[in-house]
A and B are shown apart, each in its own frame.
Chain A
Amino acid sequence: MTWALDWSDIGDALFGGLADYGDILALVHNSIWAGAVLGLVGGLIGVFVMQRDMAFAVHGISELSFAGAAAALLLGVDVVTGSIVGSLIAAGLIGWLGARARDRNSIIGVLMPFGLGLGILFLSLYDGRTANRFSLLTGQIVSVQNAQLGWLVVLSAFVLIALLLIWRPLRFDSLDPMPAAARGVPTVAISFAFMLLLGLVVAVAVHIIGALLVMALVVTPAAAAMRVATGPVAVPLLAALFGLVSAVGGILLAVMGTLPVSPYITTVSFLIYVVCRVIGARSGRVARAR
């Protein structure tokens, strides 16, 4: 009996691309751009996802986004459009039916398996290239075509600008909703706009990292930032930086070998979180002792 893996296989998987690293980078540089912009936006919007307690909603939206993309694949229409439609339907439903946290969680719990099930059905009916199938669930940014990458960057940039334009009212509504309403912040419109932007970010993330792993770019970086900072500028900046480092770092590490990109992104993002947690726990003890 032999081991399923031997060391030279592992070496190839991890570093097989090193010899041609420059050429590979040239091939995937569009992917790196898309990853960079998404990491940035995911980190920023993640701050509000955390403040509004919507991590679970992100997961729910991504499953419906996956279903939309799978449907698009089956129908032979644009997959990015499909994932956006799925995302927006989910975001709209969650925003409309789930104003209260408790309602929201039950609605997401109901939507999520339905979306995932639909997606799997569409995928099994689809008989095109098999590589496409699982990339929607687990992501493979380097196989996304350039035209679509352009779209993903444009979408991310749109969300970034829109998010900055509603930044302060959104922050007020997320942190202190009653006084925000009292002071004339249009809380209903703000919540709706937020769900829309979140839906778009998730749709982009589905293509870059996969529906099952979206949270690694939309939740983890912000959660990590919140462990080490409390300022209104420091937290979003750190979250954006962590998102960027996870996405770009993950891609750069992955193309050194032959393994898929997503595990690298999730691992980098997770390690950043662990480090921040340790740092936060230390400084937290100091703060409490003071």
Chain B
Amino acid sequence: MTQSATTPAPVLRIRGAALRRDGRELWSGLDLDVAPGELIAVLGPSGSGKTTLLRAILGLQPLSEGSITALGQRVQRRGNRRIGYLPQARPLPRDVVMRGRDLVSLGVDGHRFGFPFPRRGDRARVDALIDAVGARSFADRPVGVLSGGEQQRLRVGQALADNPRLLLCDEPLTSLDLANQQDVVRLIDAHRATGAGVLLVTHDINPVLDKVDRILYLANGRFTLGSPQEVLTSKVLSDLYGAPVFVLRAGDRLVVVGAPDAEESHHHHEHGDDE
């Protein structure tokens, strides 16, 4: 990895990225650098290609155009263990036969082929991750009986298994209550503070508003990139959508009013194989 003395090399570099789906352009000409320790929120209506962007960074789906360099390496292969991935907080079925700690340990040894003998240090690593996300008290219970917030903490532990310098979060707060949202945001922010870059897809900016460095807003076949103050204004979003959109402030929360959801009703399942 090359690294100049003044500015550290970005953990993620996207150049000239474009995504077309069914002959419709979702965005093009997207350039994005994520610096170490930077948290960027990706906003936009459903069907705007937010999840696809994350999947492209992981090498799971091709872009229509452009190149991605993650952690100094051109993205070519499917999947990347050096990148942390935190999926949407979808509750696991009650009858899943797995304890909380097993969800974490999948991140530690789930990729390894060969006879499944534990390696020295695996157990200590899993314990350390469980402690880091504050899951000690429920780690040995079946995941099916854990709350959504408890499950999501464990998923954070799984995503951090290899101490990734780039963390991708896909709607990590959806379907969590406020207290659990704050807990998960705190964990993500703590990892960012160790110098990891974070790209966080969300439909609600409020839980992360005071942690976010920049916002990438995808909508209407275009995008806007900038600080929250620059992007989250009635004027910028109205320009982006090409329709009147209002950003209202209610206490310390922001509400975007009038933004059309899913332009045309393409009911694409962005999250791939929903069980």
Contacts and interface: CB of A to CB of B under 8 A. Distances in A.
A179 B158 contact: yes
Main secondary structure of the interface of B (DSSP, over half): loop
Interface stretch (B15-23, B94-102, B259-267): B94-102
A46 B80 CA distance: 30
Contacts of A99: 273
B182 to A, nearest CB: 23
Contact of A169 (B85, B102, B110): B110
B31 interface: no
Contacts of B68: none
A100 B273 contact: yes
A287 B97 CA distance: 14
Contacts of A167: 115-116
A164 B273 contact: no
Contacts of B58: 181-182
A185 B79 contact: yes
B97 A184 contact: no
Nearest to A222: B97
A175 interface: yes
Interface in A166-203: 166-169, 171-172, 175-186
Interface string A98-110: 0111000000000
A232 interface: yes
Interface in B143-195: 145, 155, 158-159, 168
24 contacts: A164-B115, A165-B114, A167-B115, A169-B113, A175-B96, A175-B103, A178-B273, A179-B155, A179-B159, A180-B106, A180-B110, A182-B83, A182-B87, A183-B80, A184-B79, A184-B80, A231-B99, A231-B102, A232-B98, A232-B105, A235-B97, A287-B142, A287-B145, A288-B145
Interface of A: 47, 50-51, 99-101, 164-169, 171-172, 175-186, 226, 229-232, 235, 287-288
Interface of B: 58, 60, 77-81, 83, 85, 87, 95-99, 102-103, 105-107, 109-116, 141-142, 145, 155, 158-159, 168, 271-273, 275
